[in-house]
Chains A and B, each alone.
Chain A
Amino acid sequence: METVVRVFVIYVAILAGMRMMGKREFGQLSPSEFVILLLIPEIVSTTLNQNDTSVTNALIGLATIMLLVFLTSMLTHRFKKVEKLISDSAAVLVLNGKPLQKTMTWERVNPEEVMTEARKSGIEEMSKIKYAVLEPDGKISIVPMEGEESSSPPDEGGLG
């Protein structure tokens, strides 16, 4: 019983903590991927190192976290309010070529970071960006102005 309660409390605490920290902290991972990657090794290592090293305990912990992740995704899909509560929303950083300073400040993104992503899409000036969007997973998406369609970066390993 204790294992289920412990896993539940830690899962909710990490999910709430990551939600409050904002998008920038996730980097390449979505919040639930981060929680899974953080918790499963913890459960396994607890089983290996602490008093209760039983397989029963490990299986209960594993099943609990899997169930919580599934329930979270199910509820966020079904209910918009839950989705808003758990998942961060995307934020526009650049709109019609103009940086939105307040959003950049809230989200702790510098114009140079936006331009780094823009250059990957073949855009060299901010004025040619229709939208730069900070996605919930922490990545920046670039939508070019019409007529400035992004070109894929050259294949470095290609023959040219």
Chain B
Amino acid sequence: MAEQQKEPIPPPKPPEIEREIKFYPNQLIGLPIIALLPILALFKVFDSTLDTVQSSSDGLALSVHYPTKIRYRTAEPMQITIKNETGSDQTELDIHISREYLDKFKKVTFEPDIEDIDKDSYVVELKDVKADEERRVDLELETDIIGNHSCKVWASTEGAEASAEFKTFVYP
């Protein structure tokens, strides 16, 4: 009587060889290069990063939270915070963001919206900024041009100005 079959029958086994790992010379060069990319990515080397730069001058405290590294065709926020420490109310306080920088982005949104675009900058006007009051301007930047882009942000009111400079690198 035939024996009950419990599992598939394997074909005759081939002879065993010593199982070891060896590399061709070109693999010894190529593999670390291929491995480098995911490893660096795991350590967030290619991730978008944000940083903050602060500046204080003439009674204006300026803080810019900006992207330091950003990938091509992705969007990242930028926040500009200004505090009026002049000791007096300001009827108008202008925030300038360098045009050379913003023109390198595909799409830029402002909150509050811009009032003016002059030769050097996009201008957001903040009205009636009271003494010790803090205001914020929010931007969203969608990248377009690869490379390292320099930016200058400056806040100005009558007789006072504060500025901050930084760079954003756009990955391919």
Size of the A side of the interface (Cβ < 8 Å), in residues, is 34
Q: Is the CB of B21 within 8 A of A66?
A: no
**Nearest-CB residue, chain A, relative to B20:** A78
A78/B19 in contact, CB under 8 A: yes
Q: What are the residues of chain B within 8 A of A89 when measuring CB–CB?
A: 8, 10
* A58-86 Cβ-contact flags toward B at 8 Å (1 or 0): 01100110110010001001111000000
- List B residues 19-38 near A (Cβ within 8 Å): 19-21, 31, 34-38
Q: Are B71 and A56 in contact (CB under 8 A)?
A: yes
List of A residues within 8 angstroms of B101 by Cβ: none
Contact B5 A55 (CB under 8 A): no
Nearest to B27 among chain A residues (CB) is A70
Query: In whole angstroms, how far apart are the Cα atoms of A66 and B37 in the complex?
Result: 11
- Is A117 positioned at the interface, with any CB of B under 8 Å from its CB? no
Q: Point out residues on B near A: beta carbons under 8 Å.
A: 5, 8-11, 19-21, 31, 34-38, 41-44, 46-47, 71-74, 171-172
Instruction: Write the residues of chain A forming the contact surface with B, with a CB cutoff of 8 angstroms.
Output: 1, 3-4, 51-57, 59-60, 63-64, 66-67, 70, 74, 77-80, 89-92, 95, 100, 102-103, 106-107, 131, 133
A-B CB contact pairs (8 Å), 22 listed: A1-B43, A1-B47, A4-B42, A52-B73, A53-B72, A54-B73, A55-B72, A56-B172, A57-B71, A60-B38, A60-B46, A66-B34, A67-B34, A67-B35, A70-B31, A74-B21, A78-B20, A80-B19, A91-B10, A92-B9, A95-B9, A103-B8
